[in-house]
Structure 1
Amino acid sequence: MTERNWAGNLAYGARRFARPDTVDGLAELVAATAHDGTRVRALGSRHSFNRIADTEGLAIETGGLPVTVDVDETARAVRVSAGLRYGELAEVLDRHGWALANLASLPHISVAGAVATGTHGSGDRLGSLAAAVAAIELVTADGSTLALRRGDPDFDGAVVALGALGIVTALELDIEPTYDVAQTVFERLPLDAVLADLDAVTGLAASTSLFTTWRDPDVIDQLWLKRRTDAAASDALPAALAAMGAGPATVKRHPLPDVSAEHCTDQLGLPGSWFERLPHFKLAFTPSNGDELQSEFLVSRTRAAEALRVVRSLASSIAPLLQVCEIRTVAADTLWLSPAYGHDAVGIHFTWLPDQPAVEALLPRLQAALAPFDARPHWGKLFDPADAVERMPQLYPRWHDFAGLRARLDPNGVFRNGFLERLGL
């Protein structure tokens, strides 16, 4: 049977798949395989839409490693196994009275895979999931184990690493005491009102998401606000949004129009635990069943309104291929290959219809339009890599430092694949 990714849009090219059940077994496997010249890649929950995790050689599935969730209350950190899914981790943390600062829209993704690709949730003051990493452990090309901690010289290069440095086996994440979140959805927000003061809109809650289908290029269809109940509440919120032309949803909403919201996390201002509100979807369900493609481009917050105006100018070309576009914010970090490296970012995310030829035909035009804003693509989603070798060092100031780190840790290219080679790595 052909092995495929979650969306089903690509078949993996690996000649062999392995699912080791111990870290020692994984290390022995990497060492033996590397010795005979076979290339190796890690596979997590397979929520990537491109070939970042693919290889012609051996694909190692990390989900078979022993489940680890070790809370250190004094350090306010948790050590977790790489293949664990965020939703599973969150449930354990909450039972012990602890929480993560943020989660992505899907709780189904693996910790190591999300971190390696710079995956994020939303929040003006919240970093990507990778920004919460305090330490990382990986098996390198010779089968040895490398552990790096925040503050070590190579740490900022090793967190968002695209799988290029080794197989991550465990991570240590920052945690905080558990908290509740209330989620409210507002509808029909005029885009011009948003662009007039984007900071004011995204600052309405700890985490905000703006959804539009671009069918009406002048309207944000839905604004999802996720507000911590331990923060000061504002009774003026509905009135402020009403003044902008938006009204509160009176029933639970799905990001896509006319789709049942059964699988979405609870809304209508009903408070609930952080892990039951920060994602858009419940862990027990698989939204869309993978029947979609995704792209995302992140721009500096200072130029986000201008970039969104450019995207709006392409609405007539985007809308026929689009299921929904989501706009989110990510706080700056210092991780070399993070799309939020060096500046606060705004992510413009596209959930496409499952028509890959048509989407790939549109992407060069979309990327060219966003090029003046130094838009950085999400590493795990579809983008056109045509000029990546020239563009990536311009987009990432520490690109050559990362290339040097990769060459030092993997001089024989054990973890190299076609995706990395197209990037110039």
Structure 2
Amino acid sequence: MTERNWAGNLEYGAEHLVHPTSHDELRQALAGDGPLRVLGTRHTFNDLADTTGTLVATDALPVDLDTSSAPGAVRIAGAPRYGDLAPVLQRSGLALANLASLPHISVAGAIATGTHGSGDAIGSLASAVRAIGFVTPAGEPITLRRGDADFSGAVVSLGSLGVVTAVELDVEPAYDVAQHVFEGPSWDAILDDLDAVTSVGTSVSVFTRWLDADRADQLWVKTRQPETSDAAARRDAVVARLGARAATEARHPIIGLAADACTPQLGVPGPWFERLPHFRLEFTPSAGAELQSEYLVPRADAVTALEAVRRLAPRIAPLLQVCEVRTVRADDLWLSPAFEADVVGIHFTWKLDEPAVTALLPDIEAALPVTARPHWGKLFTLPAAELRARYPRFDDFAALRARYDPAGRLRNAYLERIGL
């Protein structure tokens, strides 16, 4: 087979690709003793989902949503994308607390990699999981709920425990969000009081191409409605301190690209799922032709990390499309980059030049604090020993993986490289 990931930088090495359309077909796909991996929306930029055996794609599994499964929860069977799930929740008067910048990613894939949106008080997408159901490579159905012994290890699983067939997520009443963009904030002023900047909205992102060491390109602020006059005044005061100015027309995070693909801005309120992502489902997100890396550091180390990246700006900028800085609340999920620490994510959207990017990444990783954790689904070069040292429950997860997949059918080159 000849299949590639979303970015096109990886050709999968699998011998077979199957698209089961039922649980019976899924069990048939798992039968046997050859290597397996699970394939979602292909939005990983490394070989996390690759295998030499059979790729089990989840896109054809039937999707069923049950908003009556439990108070404040929705149960999802199958593998929908967030962009498909969100309007259904909205029609039921419900919402998720957070969404990633792209609605194009699958619920199961985002959870498995610790993918996140932004917000000082909001956890990653995985932190919304109440229960998770999966089928092990041996065909055994497993359901784990919050409070179960294995639950905190099984949510961010890197696809190494089985095929996720159902999740139960926290939901809340639907709400509106307004999105503002401000241009040219001062880096010195941002770093002088980063907490003040990231707290001026429900979700806050700083975008920069690192072409100017003094000023970032944009500050995006997404705020739940209705916004109090005090909150608006505090935001305006912070923006003034940053020396930023309000955008007068819609902007793309990458300067020079048309904003058609972006969600509505200019402070116009709208449904949560049409404002929390940066991009619209019906458009190719971001730049399309790109690579991505991200490192998440505890808030206490965030300014040190950003100053380190700032010093590397002359080397980063030629390969960069845009860098985004955002925040994630701590959780208790063993392999989550936000495990037991509120974190600041430093995200790089690179030009599609993998040799040059991977040559630069070790220098970025060496410059960052030793607390930095990479996003599992994006490009990084940290060795297994470093990763193990940065995750206190890493060995516990390795034991969990061995217990649910004792034959190692879900192991691949990626997992072996990171020490699993």
TM-score normalised to structure 1 length: 0.96
Aligned match of 1:328 = 326
Aligned match of 1:266 = 264
State whether residues 213 and 319 of structure 1, in contact with CA within 8 Å, keep that contact through their aligned partners in structure 2.
yes
Aligned match of 1:127 = 123
Give the 3 Å change call, closer, same or farther, for CA 73–311 of structure 1 in structure 2. Answer: same
Larger deviation: 112-121 or 69-78? 69-78
State whether residues 33 and 39 of structure 1, in contact with CA within 8 Å, keep that contact through their aligned partners in structure 2.
no
| Aligned AA (1:267) | Q
From 347, 350, 354, the equivalent of 1:349 is: 347
Separation in structure 1 between the aligned mates of residue 321 and residue 38 of structure 2, nearest angstrom: 30
| Aligned AA (1:257) | I
Separation in structure 2 between the aligned mates of residue 27 and residue 63 of structure 1, nearest angstrom: 15
Give the secondary-structure state (helix, strand or coil) at the position aligned to 2:32.
helix
Q: Does 1:305 align with 2:303?
A: yes
Separation in structure 2 between the aligned mates of residue 294 and residue 199 of structure 1, nearest angstrom: 25
Q: Does 1:419 align with 2:414?
A: yes
Give the secondary-structure state (helix, strand or coil) at the position aligned to 2:363.
helix
Separation in structure 2 between the aligned mates of residue 44 and residue 239 of structure 1, nearest angstrom: 43
State whether residues 27 and 144 of structure 1, in contact with CA within 8 Å, keep that contact through their aligned partners in structure 2.
no
Identity %: 60
State whether residues 156 and 336 of structure 1, in contact with CA within 8 Å, keep that contact through their aligned partners in structure 2.
yes
Shift of 1:73: 7.0
Aligned match of 2:377 = 380
Separation in structure 1 between the aligned mates of residue 357 and residue 374 of structure 2, nearest angstrom: 15
Separation in structure 1 between the aligned mates of residue 189 and residue 13 of structure 2, nearest angstrom: 47
Shift of 1:80: 1.2
Shift of 1:75: 1.8
After superposition, residues 108-257 of structure 1 pair within 5 angstroms as 108-233=104-229, 234-236=231-233, 237-257=235-255
Give the 3 Å change call, closer, same or farther, for CA 410–73 of structure 1 in structure 2. Answer: closer
Shift of 1:17: 0.4
State whether residues 299 and 347 of structure 1, in contact with CA within 8 Å, keep that contact through their aligned partners in structure 2.
yes
Q: Which runs of 5+ in 1 are unaligned?
A: none
State whether residues 115 and 125 of structure 2, in contact with CA within 8 Å, keep that contact through their aligned partners in structure 1.
yes
State whether residues 99 and 274 of structure 1, in contact with CA within 8 Å, keep that contact through their aligned partners in structure 2.
yes
Shift of 1:289: 6.2
State whether residues 148 and 155 of structure 1, in contact with CA within 8 Å, keep that contact through their aligned partners in structure 2.
yes
State whether residues 116 and 161 of structure 1, in contact with CA within 8 Å, keep that contact through their aligned partners in structure 2.
yes
Aligned match of 2:405 = 410
Separation in structure 2 between the aligned mates of residue 161 and residue 274 of structure 1, nearest angstrom: 28
| Aligned AA (1:274) | W
State whether residues 102 and 129 of structure 1, in contact with CA within 8 Å, keep that contact through their aligned partners in structure 2.
yes
Give the secondary-structure state (helix, strand or coil) at the position aligned to 1:284.
coil
Aligned match of 2:82 = 86
Q: Does 1:5 align with 2:22?
A: no
Q: Does 1:52 align with 2:48?
A: yes
Give the secondary-structure state (helix, strand or coil) at the position aligned to 1:209.
strand
C-alpha RMSD of the superposition: 1.2
Shift of 1:373: 3.6
Give the secondary-structure state (helix, strand or coil) at the position aligned to 1:195.
helix
Separation in structure 1 between the aligned mates of residue 71 and residue 407 of structure 2, nearest angstrom: 37
| Aligned AA (2:32) | T
Separation in structure 1 between the aligned mates of residue 43 and residue 394 of structure 2, nearest angstrom: 25
Shift of 1:284: 0.8
Separation in structure 2 between the aligned mates of residue 269 and residue 358 of structure 1, nearest angstrom: 39
Shift of 1:240: 3.4
Moved beyond 6 Å, runs of 4+: none
State whether residues 361 and 380 of structure 2, in contact with CA within 8 Å, keep that contact through their aligned partners in structure 1.
yes
Deviations 1:102-138 (A, max 9, x none): 0000000000000000000000000000000000000
Aligned length: 418
Separation in structure 2 between the aligned mates of residue 258 and residue 251 of structure 1, nearest angstrom: 13
Aligned match of 1:16 = 16
Separation in structure 1 between the aligned mates of residue 305 and residue 183 of structure 2, nearest angstrom: 22
Shift of 1:243: 3.0
Separation in structure 1 between the aligned mates of residue 250 and residue 219 of structure 2, nearest angstrom: 13
Aligned match of 2:32 = 33
Separation in structure 1 between the aligned mates of residue 358 and residue 301 of structure 2, nearest angstrom: 25
Aligned match of 1:359 = 357
Separation in structure 2 between the aligned mates of residue 73 and residue 184 of structure 1, nearest angstrom: 36
State whether residues 190 and 218 of structure 1, in contact with CA within 8 Å, keep that contact through their aligned partners in structure 2.
yes
Give the secondary-structure state (helix, strand or coil) at the position aligned to 2:267.
coil
Aligned match of 1:295 = 293
Separation in structure 2 between the aligned mates of residue 194 and residue 288 of structure 1, nearest angstrom: 24
Shift of 1:288: 4.5
| Aligned AA (2:142) | L
| Aligned AA (1:405) | L
| Aligned AA (2:118) | S
Give the secondary-structure state (helix, strand or coil) at the position aligned to 1:223.
strand
Separation in structure 1 between the aligned mates of residue 131 and residue 232 of structure 2, nearest angstrom: 41
Deviations 1:55-95 (A, max 9, x none): 00000000110011111275211111342000100010001
